[in-house]
Structure 1
Amino acid sequence: MPPSAILGPDGRPMQRQTLAAPQATPTVTGVRPVLSEHPARGLTPERLAGLLRASEDGDATRYLELAEDMEERDLHYRGVLATRKLSISQLEVTVEAASDEPDDQAAADLVRAALDAADVEELLFDLQDGLGKGYSVVEMIWDTSRAPWRVVGFEHRDPRWFQFDRTDGRTLRLVDGTPDGAPLEPNRFIIHTPKTKSGLPIRGGLARAAAWAFLFKNFAIKDWVVFAEVYGHPLRLGKYGPGASEPDKDILLDAVRNLGTDAAAIIPQSMLIELVTSNVTGIDLWEKLANYLDRQVSKAVLGQTATTDAISGGHAVGQEHRQVQKDIERADGRQTAGTLNRDFVPVLVSVNMGPRPVYPKIRIGRPDEEDIGALVERVVKLVPLGLKVGMSTMRDKIGLPDPGDEEELLTVPGTAAETPSDRPGTDPAQTETASVRPAPEGARFDLDAAIAEQLATEGWDMGAVIDPVRELLDGADSLEEVRARLRDPEVLAKLLGAMDTSRIEEALTRGGTAAWLAGLAEGAD
């Protein structure tokens, strides 16, 4: 396929030269630098308020650098944010075809192959960087040296290299030294802006909500360390006599200082050093403040505190808080899947198969938990009543693959096993009929299963029982008329006589006889 014939999802041609070279790369001139400043150093309330306002006005560089500092300096914030990121990167990723048509199935297989070839966990983790900063940008690395063009890698790009459009505050542009920046090339970037709150994306980052707690916690920790450094040691009081000379005073001062560092000193016999213990109370104030701020950060990032802090309430409270975390996880998974379905899937499919009216869908989330035992029990009871259930559907539900052509099959004791010759498309001459195998020694007879099997074999025809009742209902104009007819002994006798239960009775009799014989055999053993 010539390059000019390769179209993007919007129907416009995709140029090989443009797509081959990455766009968002660091620059030598420093417009998009690799090194960053550290605004957390010496941060004050005034400076914090200023950089937050600047991010709203279009210059988010310092805010983004602060968000990075917070993940490096605040271990609690890093822990809860990493928990949320890692929970998404570990979720199951599935691809659903748009329909059963061959082209739609081929498109879904194409997306699956691309995801299998890439490091999906790393891609999902990098996209979650937008949780803290408000947005995350991943650039697709294309191989256009041969057809079809393929995405061979995903590179997370520094968010400082992008800026929002000054008009709408939502469209990302590449920082290039100009006031408005350069437009991003189409079909190249995956831009994830998590919806943590309504409003502009730059104001939706969790780092913005946690910044004030980070600042006040730093103040608390600093004061705590200073207190521990000063009041953690007893006061060392040196005393000298009225006739002490200046050299004697210097000797005493050095001795007092050495007691605070080396815990050893020598002084003349005429001098005295006294250790005075501090009786300061309320020293846990800073710890309480730091713990309180950590709990607020946990609520902002994870929606709860039970999974990060030891609180009272026991197992019930923990389960309730875990459910909150699951709700957030599901929302993050849906949003991330929506980003990939918008920026990645249409591009990949269009390059290889041309623009399509509908595209495959990526799903990210934990599989729905289903009670397999209850499902099988319901199917066993309802199939004899006429419920039609596909064999492949049930295998998918219980997680069993389709058996191979020559694979030995499990069977119900006392029934003939299906052999490859019984399946459509096999040659009976190449297979042998499997013999009926008796139940293993010591195996107990399942009465319910035997009856259900017998009823299914005999063909439990409920129509022979229900049809006379249906005729009675169809011939009446109201419920009262039905009741009146049923009170008539002749009508009731005629109705019961019209119900043919012979086949059901025969099937039940055979099933009961088989169970009785099995019981005798087990007793004899």
Structure 2
Amino acid sequence: MKTSSIIPNSRFRNSYRSGINPIRNLTPQSLVRVLDAFQGGNLAPAALAWDAIERRDDLLKGVAAKRKKSVARLPWSVLTVDDSEEALMHKAALEYFYNNLTSTNACDNNEFGGFSLLVKQMMDSIGKKYAVHEIVYQPNATTGKLTASFRFVPLWFFENKTGRLRFLKSDSSQEGIALEEGSWLVTAGDGLMESCSIAYLFKHLPLRDWLVYCERNGMPGVKGTTDAIPGTPQWDSARSAVLDFGSEFHALLNRGTDIEPIDLTARGELPYPKLVERMDRAMSALWRGSDLSTISREQSAGASLQSEESALLEEDDAALVSETLNIQVDRFVLKYLFGVERGKAYIRVNSNNHYQSLRDLELYRRLWEMGLAIPENKLRERFSIPKPDTKDQELTSNETE
């Protein structure tokens, strides 16, 4: 069991990538190379580009944060597989572990928190495919209890050329070292940033052209006409008057001289706004659901559908976090403390999918009315209802006020 970090602080200080802007000269050709390299196991170029895009795009910054925070704020509980004394001991051990853990960012020690921050960092895998934490365990020899510190490590510190993530000791390393089981937490998600980076590119190319168009055609030019001879004080006065209008396009002509302007303004509707909006909607749909009322509240028809879509995403994200912790953390903690391969308790992040809960509750009620026995543990697990302790006052349907 690892009780100290294997990543020296110099690894982060000496990273030359910290001063590079990976999307400064982004083109379709360079983006294709980056995405192909990611599929080949060279994660750094894509991970750096995706990180910069997520931080700098106005819409993506919001929808990605909402997706992550919606799961990070969910309640959690430790459930047991039965009512045995052993199961209760396992439950108490896991509750202590998760209630006392700490989460930090290996590149930014100012980012510090507990379980909610851990979940939010794990959700980075939804965008970047993988999220990696180094686990530094903190055993208490006096009480016999265990907790840990989770250090969120940037994805560009890893490679995936063998099909398993490996840690790169330096930026110049081509092959990394294997991640020790139980010492690392690897969360694998959807990897939405592959599609979003394409949408980002085709959003900002027309956005850039739109800005150039506004610069060239946003202010009309000024044309002055005078009978004065060039070089005379009268000519200079007329020239100063034209310049005082402040336009970038101006001209002073003798009477009888004419300039025919080239009109660059588009007739009808410009193509740039629709393309920018199309890419914004695509990114919003990927992260938050189908209705896209995140962008325009005016188009609220179908908002209930979007709400259900978001609930489904939240439920799936909660299941991803729960299963990842069950396999990579719960088993290791219980094996260390109790010497068992499979413990009788596990953590569960409880989603707020009210639609599915109501359907399941109605189903259980009908089965109960039909006389079918339903195990209490199954009901408590489905609706995240913890078993009351001996100190708790139990409420039953027979109690009256």
Residue 440 of structure 1 corresponds to none
- When residues 115 and 29 of structure 1 are mapped into structure 2, their CA distance, relative to the original with a 3 A threshold, is closer
- When residues 402 and 20 of structure 1 are mapped into structure 2, their CA distance, relative to the original with a 3 A threshold, is closer
Residue 209 of structure 1 corresponds to 195
Match of 1:337 among 315, 318, 322: 322
Distance 2:384 2:45 in 1: 51
Deviation, 1:20, is 2.5
- When residues 186 and 296 of structure 1 are mapped into structure 2, their CA distance, relative to the original with a 3 A threshold, is same
Q: Which runs of 5+ in 1 are unaligned?
A: 1-13, 197-204, 418-525
The answer to whether the 8 A contact 2:165-2:178 is kept is no
Amino acid at match of 2:336: V
The answer to whether the 8 A contact 2:80-2:91 is kept is yes
Match of 1:172 among 166, 177, 186: 166
* Length, aligned pairs only: 377
Residue 116 of structure 1 corresponds to 99
Residue 350 of structure 2 corresponds to 365
The answer to whether the 8 A contact 1:92-1:365 is kept is yes
Q: Is 2:144 the partner of 1:159?
A: no
- When residues 358 and 33 of structure 1 are mapped into structure 2, their CA distance, relative to the original with a 3 A threshold, is farther
> C-alpha root-mean-square deviation of aligned residues, in Å?
4.6
Residue 71 of structure 1 corresponds to 54
Match of 2:225 among 228, 239, 255: 239
The answer to whether the 8 A contact 1:142-1:149 is kept is no
- When residues 401 and 22 of structure 1 are mapped into structure 2, their CA distance, relative to the original with a 3 A threshold, is closer
How do residues 472-487 of structure 1 correspond to structure 2 at under 5 angstroms?
A: none
Q: Is 2:127 the partner of 1:127?
A: no
Larger radius of gyration: 1
Deviation sequence 1:282-302 (CA, Å, 0-9, x none): 354322211111111122222
Q: Is 2:88 the partner of 1:92?
A: no
* Structure richer in helix, relative to its length: 1
Q: Is 2:42 the partner of 1:47?
A: no
Distance 1:365 1:152 in 2: 22
How do residues 11-410 of structure 1 correspond to structure 2 at under 5 angstroms?
A: 14=1, 19-27=2-10, 32=15, 35-118=18-101, 119-144=114-139, 146=141, 148=144, 150-164=146-160, 166-168=161-163, 170-176=164-170, 177-194=172-189, 196=190, 205-241=191-227, 243-245=229-231, 256-260=242-246, 280-282=266-268, 284-310=270-296, 314-315=300-301, 317-366=302-351, 369-370=357-358
Distance 1:397 1:48 in 2: 44
The answer to whether the 8 A contact 2:79-2:386 is kept is no
Distance 1:44 1:188 in 2: 39
Deviation, 1:235, is 1.3
Deviation, 1:334, is 0.8
Q: Which runs of 5+ in 2 are unaligned?
A: 102-113
Deviation, 1:153, is 2.3
Task: Please state whether the residue corresponding to 1:259 is helix, strand or coil.
Answer: coil
TM-score (norm. length: structure 2): 0.77
Deviation, 1:360, is 2.1
Deviation, 1:25, is 4.3
Distance 1:66 1:374 in 2: 47
Distance 1:399 1:187 in 2: 28
Amino acid at match of 1:299: A
Deviation, 1:337, is 0.8
Distance 2:332 2:179 in 1: 15
Deviation, 1:314, is 4.6
